[in-house]
Amino acid sequence: MFSNHAKTIKVEIKRQSGPDGSSTVEKFEIPYRPNMNITSVLGEIACNPITADGTATAPITYDANCLEEICGSCAMLINGKARMACSALVDKLTDGSEPITLAPLSKFPVVRDLSVDRSVLFKNLKAVKAWVPIDGTYDLGSGPRQFPQLQEELYPLSNCISCTICMEVCPQFNDSTNFVGAATIAQVKLFNNNPTGAVLKAERLRALAGDGGVQECGFAQNCVEACPKQLPLTEAISDVSRDVLLQQVKDFFVR
């Protein structure tokens, strides 16, 4: 809880001018207002980009859009922890005596300052065909019916906001592996269980059987702890692992 005596918020931000630039830390001090989140802190600095020692500087580059944990764009390291800037409240991060530290996600190429290139997630989603294949040129009518129990089981998986936090915290997602990460595997479960999406089930499972596939998960379970939308990631990984194995056995016998 922010102390009544502290009238300013101290923020230390890791900055980098471009993908190949060296990084530096700049300190800021901005007026405290109740109920600020990290996105509003960054907005305040953008309005008046002056460091704590009075030096004019370039405004901080960061990604943000919906401001309500839906678009997934504002993920960053806040006090060393991967989380969404829009739902990180200043009152819960510091009592005013210690600075709040902000840094870009560490496992993605820096574009500039707090903005990183997370296109690897979209490349992975494309590789597993994470969509329902439909011909959009004419009305196909309503799709096949789904049991409510299945809808309820799958609905949480549709809440993924592509924030990449599950990949950032995963020890298996690093420079020496091609592991696709929990979000992609969860979407495979979602679309494989969709009555229309299931037509691509075998292709999705084969895509997860090779290099970087589901077998590279080490079950550290950091993903499920860190996911801001509480996706049942470990359950999805177990289910998809089993399906990948079954697909491999099936493929072996029909060769």
Task: List residues near ligand SF4 by CB under 6 A.
Answer: 160-166, 182-183, 186, 227-229, 231, 233
- Which CB atom, from 45 or from 231, has the smaller least distance to ligand SF4? 231
- What is the separation of C-alpha 73 from the centre of its chain, rounded to a whole number of angstroms? 8
- Which CB atom, from 66 or from 140, has the smaller least distance to ligand SF4? 66
- Which CB atom, from 73 or from 94, has the smaller least distance to ligand SF4? 73
- Which CB atom, from 87 or from 196, has the smaller least distance to ligand SF4? 87
